[in-house]
Homo-oligomer: A and B are copies of this chain.
Amino acid sequence: MKTVTKSAVRQPPRDIPLDTIRRLSICLRALNRLKERGIATVNSVELAEPLNFSSEQLRKDLSYFGRFGKSGVGYDVGQLSGKIHSILGTDKVWNVAVLGAGELGTALLGYSGFEDFNLRVCAALDNDPRKIGKTINGVRVSAIAGLSDIVRRNEIKAAILTVTKTAAQEVAQKAVACGIKAVLNFAPVTLNLPKGVHVSNMDVSCELETLVCRLANRN
């Protein structure tokens, strides 16, 4: 007996552009807002335009993974949301650790953007004895020495790095040694980590700088 799932999420044929993933993430968030408002159907124009990209682009992005819409109608909000969750791998919860419980780490422990993606910040680590043991937004701060255990117990694969720029490389290396496979780096330094570890930089000053650059060149 053959089991055929209609319009399953297709295994992508080749490398997917990073921006495609970003746009689909943004879409997922928008779909959640639509769901909250009780809207059941949406077409590619209604979905894409408020997000500042074109409907063609959205359809193309989706077409890497399968066929999810209905001609003449559009997309079922709940269904498309589910499909994008599968595509992004967030049909299950991902636990994440915050490394560095300073102002920025604290801010992220209270950040309201993670729910849309089934991401859960479930651990905070710091080396400052005054912080260890405190509870911030329901998460207890542990010493970095305990990272290995925490990673194992919670099956954590990704960490957000919010320590100072001087500590960043060292803490990141330690995290990788504990089994962390992906790092979202907020420190204004370039990390050098083993191949196979995914790094993404949230470089505030650099990004602000590109804005200023555009202003300086009046365009």
Which of A66-74, A126-134, A210-218 lies at the interface with chain B? A210-218
**A116-135 interface with B by 8 A CB criterion:** 116-117, 119
Binds B, one of A36-44, A145-153, A195-203: A195-203
Most buried by B among A52, A110, A204: A204
- A175 CB → nearest B CB, Å: 13
Q: Are B90 and A212 in contact (CB under 8 A)?
A: yes
On A, residues with C-beta under 8 Å from B are: 12, 18, 21-22, 25-26, 29-30, 50-52, 87-90, 94, 96, 102-104, 106-108, 110-114, 116-117, 119, 157-158, 160, 164-165, 181-184, 187-188, 190, 192, 198, 200, 202-217
- Total copies of this chain within the assembly: 2
Report B-chain residues with C-beta under 8 Å of the C-beta of A200.
Answer: 207-208, 210-211
A188: nearest residue on chain B (CB-CB)? B113
Q: Give the contacting residue for A88; candidates B18, B94, B183, B209; CB below 8 A.
A: B209
